[in-house]
Amino acid sequence: MEQVPSIGRLVQITVTEGYDLKGFKGDTPVTFIRVEFNQVVLGDSAKITVSPEGSAKYNFTSSFEFNPEGGISLDDLARKPVFLTVTEVLPKEKKQKEEKTLILGQAVVDLLPLLEGQSSFQTTVPLHPVQGSPLETPRSSAKQCSLEVKVLVAEPLLTTAQISGGNLLKVTLEAAYSVPESFIPTGPGQKYMVGLQVPSLGEKDYPILFKNGTLNGNHSEAKACYERTISFVVDASEMHFIFLRLGLIYLEEKEYEKAKKTYMEACKRSPSCLTWLGLGIACYRLEELTEAEDALSEANALNNYNAEVWAYLALVCLKVGRQLEAEQAYKYMIKLKLKDEALLAEIHTLQETVGFGNPSF
């Protein structure tokens, strides 16, 4: 890539206005904005009173110098946002010496347009409330809680030749599958950030993985996503939950051969009770009862408190006619309180068909 001139250039960030604001002490609080970039505070705005309509005209400009040879570099601009923190100044009480403040929320501004040839741009960025902030409950106004921001440099930071000869990488996260249950909001809506480590050398891919969650949403999209992931990732430690989720989708869609293949690969890479259980279920559905019992026995050896493992062991024993073992597995399943009502009904139906397996008969 062509060298960037070493002359420093000033990057100006102007926060013009805030919308749908309110405070801890009322709807017309006194507020100010702190601007930070690259772990440095660029400045604080004047203290501005929010109007009854929820707007505040800050018109505050701060700046930093872009100089790749001795300070802020292209890499900093590409991967570090500008942080804007809105803070409320609380009214002074009697005998109070120092001013008290409370943070209302924070916004971020992406400087990537400066690396795409733009010398200025304007954007409206959402203001994310901190926990407990009055901004968690929006006003009824048409505008959402946000800040109007302008970014300006005297001339483009990169020439057309530099842009066309560069290797700027963009990553777009369109959806997340199997997110943890803790991500599901029980109160006010939450905002989440995803980080992606990209190697500066070598050719290894680093996918974004959300682990240990409950699958929701479109199965076909999730299945395609998982299939693409396992087609190029070789790090077994990062793939365990991907195999589990993909295998579960195959089981639910009755693609048992694919489920068997997926769980077998998972058992080879990072065996666990759940990988062996998945393999056992797939083999059972394929009527491969010997393989199913072997896999379920492995699962049981790793965790003999899993009710679903005992349930499928009971099914296998019922199918092959081993009454004593079928009843024993059924007793353990009941003791461990199997939650899958459909699986329990399937066991009861098979017990009635073969005439044994339930000690209450």
Question: What domains appear along the chain, each with residue ranges and CATH number?
Answer: 9-159 (2.60.40.150), 193-354 (1.25.40.10)
Confidence of residue 285 (pLDDT cuts 50, 70, 90): very high
For the cut 60, the answer to whether the pLDDT of residue 206 exceeds it is no
SS3 assignment, position 68:
coil
Contacts of 196 (CB under 8 A, 6+ apart): 171, 206, 208
> Average pLDDT of the chain?
82
Amino acid identity, position 146: S
Indicate the DSSP class of residue 359.
T
* Of 204, 205, 206, 241, residue with least CA distance to 226: 241
Q: How would residue 352 be classed by pLDDT, with cut points 50, 70 and 90?
A: very high
- Give the model's pLDDT for residue 236: 46
CA distance 344 to 360: 15
Given 3-state DSSP classes, what are the helix, strand and coil percentages for the chain, each rounded to the nearest 5? 35, 20, 40
Backbone angles phi, psi at 244, to 5 degrees: -60, -45
The token duo for 160 is: 């057309």
Question: Encoding tokens for residue 321?
Answer: 């006619």
Tokens representing 284? 């059972």
Q: Quote the radius of gyration of the chain (alpha carbons, Å).
A: 29
For 39-98, how does the pLDDT look when each residue is reduced to its tens digit (9 = 90+)? 899 999 999 999 998 899 999 999 999 887 777 888 888 878 899 999 999 888 777 778
- Whether residue 92 contacts residue 98, with contact meaning beta carbons closer than 8 Å, is answered with no
